[in-house]
Every structure is written in C-alpha cells, then in structure tokens.
Amino acid sequence: MKRIERVGAIIKILSENPGKQYSLSYFCDMFQSAKSSISEDIHAAKQILETIDSGMIETTAGAGGGVRFLPCISDTDTAALLDLICEKLRDKSRILGSGFLYTSDIMFDSNIVKCAGEIFAGRFMGLGADYVVTIETKGIPVALMTAHMLNLPLVVIRRESKISEGSTVSINYISGPSERIQKMSLAKRAVTSGSKAIIIDDFMRAGGSIKGIIEMLSEFEIEIVGTGVVIASTEPQKKKISDFFPLIYLGSVDESNKIIEVFPNSLISCKKIL
C-alpha cells in the first residue's frame, strides 16, 4: 500500500474507534510496513485532523504505548450544534402545557446526540471515569454517544427493577415540577464499588433526578467526576446539585404568547478544555 492509502486507512480505523488504543505493530502487520513508515503515516494523519480541526491523534511511547483517537468537536461545529438545538427548541409547536416542551425528536436524533456526546467527551476526558451513567429513557442516546466517544461502558439506571436486571438496589427520590416521590433501580452487577462515573442526562430542572443518581451511586461508593445535561432550565435558580455542565439553558416558556426562551451555554469551548 502507498502512503496515501495507509494514512487514509489509519484515519478511518482510529476515528471510528474513539479512545481505543492501537499498537504500532497493529498497523505494521496490517500494512506490512516498517515501524518507521507507520510512525510517519501516523504523524501525517495527526496533522490532517489538526488542519481540519476534527479531533486529535495521541501517541504514547514505551511498551504499553501506542496510538489512539480522541474526539474533539471544533468550536465552529459546537456553536452550530448549540444554535441548531436552540432553533429547534424555539419552535412554538413544542409547547405541551404546564411548562413542558416536546423534545423527543431532538434527544433521539443520532446526529445531534453524537455531537453533544463529543462535547461532553471533550469536557470530561482525562478524569479517570470508569462509566457513563444515565437514567432511562430520553438521556440514553446522548449518554451512549458520550460513552462511545470516551470508550467507556454505559450504565442505565431503570425506573422499575426488572427481572432481567438480576438483584438490584433501589432508592426513592423526589423529582419533577410537582416534587413527586419516584423510584430508581440499579443492577448490582452493573457497577463496581469504588469506581468513578460521569452522569449524563437529557434535561434538568431542579436536579432531583441527578441528585437521585448521585445518591444511588453513593450506595456503591462511586465517585462522580462530572455531570452533563443537554438542557438545563434556569428556574428554579436554586438547584439540588451544585456542579453540572449544561449545553443549553431553557428560560421562560410563555404559553400565551408562544415564546420559548433558550440560549446556549456560552462557556463551552472544547479547545480550551483539552
């Protein structure tokens, strides 16, 4: 294979397996090439991704070393994504009454949640997390994409304990605009005590669900190293949790004039964080 072919192939293989470490020998064997050639190929691949501002290739030397792709959405693409979500959210037909908005189409749009996952991955990379944790249902897609970008397992907390989950730990928590008591369940075998987790969810109002997740994880002595939500409402100002990272803020929903106030979190920049 020629250099151009090896470089193209390396870009394809690394970028579709974010976070996965490949040894140099893997590519040497694949292309029947010397280590020195492969090193140059990887260097070329790295520069291409830098030029188009589309993630980075990290090389580590030594016995356990190798090469892996770390996704990083550009500031331009981040801004475009947040604008797209805001524009979609401003559509007045989303108003369902009682302050609720229809957001399922956004949360189940694979392109949107993939980009959102890239933003969260950039934010929470390098914190030593062992899992991405969410609670069913609408947060699953964005949590899955975040997990994929970080090469971590996804853990989904269920509302009801299911027979297919085996033995579970359940807690009650208070959430929702009417501060209702709800239940969540986590399979005992889904996590290991003493590990670290990132929490990802689709929407946060006062933070009751996420506080519940934190309590649940503390039953397993799991440390939370980051919390990301796609949309956080500005009200109530006093949240039940202190440290979270939203992509979008939802302000007032004026049901009589059909005006939905939304704005992007202006503090997001993948670049600054990495």
Q: What does the binding site for a copy of itself look like in residue numbers (CB under 8 A)?
A: 1, 3-5, 7-9, 11-13, 15-17, 20, 44-45, 47-49, 51-52, 54, 96, 98, 100-105, 108-111, 113-114, 136-138, 140-141, 144-145, 147-148, 151, 153-156, 158, 163-166, 187, 189-190
Task: Indicate the residue among 61 and 74 with the shorter CB distance to a copy of itself.
Answer: 74
Q: To the nearest whole angstrom, how small is the minimum distance from the Cβ of residue 267 to a copy of itself?
A: 26
Q: To the nearest whole angstrom, how small is the minimum distance from the Cβ of residue 266 to a copy of itself?
A: 26
Gap between the Cα atoms of 28 and 15, Å rounded: 18
Give every CB contact of residue 5 below 8 A, 6+ residues apart in sequence.
Answer: none
Q: To the nearest whole angstrom, how small is the minimum distance from the Cβ of residue 256 to a copy of itself?
A: 18
Task: Indicate the residue among 45 and 198 with the shorter CB distance to a copy of itself.
Answer: 45
CA distances for 136 relative to 20, 48, 140, 157, 209, angstroms: 27, 38, 6, 6, 11
Q: To the nearest whole angstrom, how small is the minimum distance from the Cβ of residue 138 to a copy of itself?
A: 8
Q: How many Å from the N-terminal Cα to the C-terminal Cα in the chain?
A: 34
Task: Indicate the residue among 86 and 135 with the shorter CB distance to a copy of itself.
Answer: 135
Task: Indicate the residue among 77 and 242 with the shorter CB distance to a copy of itself.
Answer: 77
Pairing mode of beta strands 56-60, 100-101: unpaired
CB 115 within 8 A of CB 77: yes
Q: To the nearest whole angstrom, how small is the minimum distance from the Cβ of residue 62 to a copy of itself?
A: 25
Give every CB contact of residue 85 below 8 A, 6+ residues apart in sequence.
Answer: 106, 112, 230, 231, 247, 248, 262, 264
CB 151 within 8 A of CB 19: yes
Task: Indicate the residue among 96 and 259 with the shorter CB distance to a copy of itself.
Answer: 96
Q: To the nearest whole angstrom, how small is the minimum distance from the Cβ of residue 69 to a copy of itself?
A: 10
Give the single-character DSSP code of 158. B
Task: Indicate the residue among 121 and 266 with the shorter CB distance to a copy of itself.
Answer: 121
Q: To the nearest whole angstrom, how small is the minimum distance from the Cβ of residue 82 to a copy of itself?
A: 18
Output Rg (C-alpha) for the chain, integer angstroms: 21
Task: Indicate the residue among 69 and 173 with the shorter CB distance to a copy of itself.
Answer: 69
In degrees and rounded to multiples of 5, residue 138 shows phi and psi of -75, -15
The token pair at 247 is 């992509």
Q: How many CB atoms lie within 10 A of CB 64?
A: 8
- C-alpha angle 18/22/23, rounded to 5°? 160
In sequence order, the β-bridge partners of residue 260 are 253
